[in-house]
Amino acid sequence: MIILYFFILSVILGVLVLVLPSKKMNIMAGIFYVIAHISLSFFAHHHMDLTDSVYFKFDHISVLLNALLSLLIIPTFYHSKLYLQRHIRDVKRESQYIAAMIMLFTAISGVYFSEYLVILWVCIEMTTLLVGFLVLHDRYQTPIEASWKYLFISSVGIAIAFMGILFLAAQISDREGANLSVSYLMSMASTMNPVFLKTAFILMLAGYSIKLNIFPLFAATIDAKTVAPFPVNAIISTCLVNAGFIGVYRIYSIISMSEVIFWAQKVFLITGLISLIIAAVQLFRVKRFKRMFAFSSMEHMALILIALSVGKVGYYAAILHLVFHTLVKSGLFYQFGQIRALYNSGWFKDTGAYIKLNPTGALAFILGLLSITAIPPSGMFVSEFLIFKALFSSGYVFVGIISLILLTVIIYIFFKNGLHLLYAEKPENYGQQKALSNKYESISQLVLFGLVIYLGYNPPAFFTDFIQLAISGIN
Amino acid sequence: MIYLFIVLYGLTLVYFGLSERVSRFVYLLSAQGLILFALVFESLHETQLIELILILIETIVVKAILIPWFLNRLRKRNHLKRLHESFLPVFYNVIIIVFIWVLSFVLGNNLNFEELHTPFFSAALASVTCGIYFIIIHKNVFSHLTGYLIIENGVFLLSLSVGSKFPHFVSLAVLLDVLMGVLVLGLFLNKVRDTFQDISVQSLSKLKD
């Protein structure tokens, strides 16, 4: 019943923070929550493949993603403290922010560990609500627009995904002991009507695409990420994307037990390619860093889908890439917090001479830039190399070449804008508002980027074994 | 009787295409809630008390009373009376909705899955498609909210067509979805209005680079 206790604890902490708003309470609740979340990850690791609180289960993929979330909660709370100091100077609103963050982390963990598709869907719905609130936190015009779009399109997307679950339910409703758990559906998949499986897969992929930040419902996510506070972005661009991935991964696990798997892989390939093309084209038009990072998430998720489409040879690379993307993208958003504070703007045109103004931050940014574009020594070079190796060795030469061309375009845009930030002339309006700097702010990014390099080139055996076990359940 | 209620449900969809008055959208949604209750009640073979209470809450209390009441408040607060902002003339809207309705039934009958109750499935398909169409042709957020509710009613019909063994699970999930959608989106609609002094989607396009 540990997950149930964890949920109750989260709600209590959230309510306490809301009811007793004070800086001390926020810090205490944050620390207590971090300890609880890390403990949950350890507990889950030690109770692998066991069911908990009836509707949840600890499997390798969920434990891996939850551990990543535990790892990111610490820097996210630290950077949230800086964000609140800089932008929100109202204790009540700070408390609302902290309470919503606590609930968002809990809902994401709920998605990871859900064994039942309906519970997974409910937890995803909870994340929508909380992200809508967190995006709105600044309460000026553009967050209201972004928040409205996100809530509306997410609600429609989630309704579509629910229809997918209903199609699966239709296939098992007359069987003895039927339930909507992933394990049960996997065991029944081979006996299900392929048309129903295909319909369920398409509906769930389309519905969860808003969380996964891919075609077709990516637009509202991009807008939400453009205006969300940067620590929130560090989570919704990584761990929440992983939650969307889990939603799709669960239905794919079920499909993989049937003959429909090859069809599903083709759908992944087409969705991945379309998403990659959209990301590359849209990146030409972006004028601000957060939007650029948002489209970059779309690019990486597209690559992960393409890797899954190859089949067994691509699964390892897909999960490895997901892990590295989580670490790198969160680091980039933490770094963006410094850029935003220094220039008081997130637009490319308002930035420049970063290497002179903030050398440590610039070093972290260069490492982040190399990491996200998968240029050595980035660990993402290894995962992307494995993806392309899988593509070419499986005969997907044309897809591989197209993807490489699109990635080249994306790298060019990233470097063009990144080098502008680092080496362009200092902007004219620089220094009009004093930046609230913190000399320790870059540490979290350097640690995260360093970790990706280490895991990429010298992965410990337990890490690779863990990923292998995570993918062993699917065909 | 089930067919009669399905035809009535279809008529509400056609009427959505005809209407320009916002208050009529609200009444039509309320009528759909009542029809859905009648449909469920007719199709129940063995009535269990918990199941009946859940269905009552979901259809009559939430869909026919609570949501229309909330939408009415939204309508009055935002002084919404008539919306002349459909991309297409009313006549074409009606033809398209009827076409969607017929196509859904032809498709439902041709597929004829044993696992699905064909009339419910066809009505669900029509409702979801009409909801999406309604969102596409309108340019203000209140109509979008209405379209979303039509989609949700379609999802509810789909859950009936499945005739699943997990009614509580499904009912609670649909209930959560509807409540979240309406209450949160409704509150946001007020915020959009307060901030932009308008609920047209054209005012929600400042984010593009």
pTM above 0.80, yes or no: yes
pLDDT of residue A145: 83
Mutation target for A interface from B107, B112, B175, B204: give the one with most A CBs within 10 A.
B204
How would residue B166 be classed by pLDDT, with cut points 50, 70 and 90? low
Q: Is residue B116 part of a domain?
A: yes
Chain B residues with a Cβ under 8 Å from any Cβ in chain A? 111, 113, 115-116, 128, 132, 135, 141, 144-145, 148, 151-152, 155, 158-159, 161-166, 169-170, 173-174, 176-177, 180-181, 184-185, 188, 191-192, 195-196, 204-207, 209
Q: How far is CA A127 from CA A79, A106, A124, in A?
A: 20, 9, 5
Q: d(Cα A289, Cα A417) in Å, to the nearest integer?
A: 8
C-alpha distance from B56 to closest chain A C-alpha (Å): 21
Chain A positions in Cβ-Cβ contact with residue B110 (cut-off 8 Å): none
Q: For the segment B94-147, what is each residue's pLDDT rounded down to a tens digit?
A: 999 999 999 999 998 888 787 788 899 999 999 999 999 998 888 888 888 899
Give me the interface pTM, i.e. the ipTM: 0.88
pLDDT tens digit at each of 475 positions of chain A? 899 999 999 999 999 999 999 999 999 999 999 999 999 999 999 999 999 988 999 999 999 999 999 999 999 999 999 999 888 878 999 999 999 999 999 999 999 999 999 899 989 999 998 998 898 876 666 788 888 889 889 989 998 999 999 899 888 877 777 888 999 999 999 999 999 999 999 999 999 999 999 999 999 899 999 999 999 999 999 999 999 999 999 999 999 999 999 999 999 999 999 999 999 999 999 999 999 999 999 999 999 999 999 999 999 999 999 999 999 999 999 999 999 999 989 999 999 999 999 999 999 999 999 999 999 999 999 999 999 999 999 999 999 999 999 999 999 999 999 999 999 999 888 876 666 677 889 999 999 999 999 999 999 999 999 999 999 988 8
Q: For the segment B146-163, what is each residue's pLDDT rounded down to a tens digit?
A: 999 999 999 889 888 876
- Across the interface, whether the CB atoms of A141 and B206 are under 8 A apart is answered yes
Q: How far is CA A453 from CA A27, A44, A357, A364, A374, in A?
A: 32, 27, 26, 13, 11
Q: Containing domain of residue B117, as a range? A: 2-201
Q: Is residue B207 part of a domain?
A: no
Q: d(Cα B169, Cα A117) in Å, to the nearest integer?
A: 11
Domain count, chain B: 1
Domain ranges of chain A: 268-475
pLDDT of residue A311: 93
Picking from B148, B159, B209, the nearest residue to A152 by CB comes out as B148
- Across the interface, whether the CB atoms of A151 and B188 are under 8 A apart is answered yes
Enumerate the β-bridge partners of residue A181: A116
Q: d(Cα A155, Cα A153) in Å, to the nearest integer?
A: 5
Contact A221, A213 (CB under 8 A): yes
**E strands, A294-345, where?**
none
- Across the interface, whether the CB atoms of A291 and B191 are under 8 A apart is answered no
- Across the interface, whether the CB atoms of B181 and A155 are under 8 A apart is answered yes
Contact A326, A289 (CB under 8 A): no
C-alpha distance from B134 to closest chain A C-alpha (Å): 13
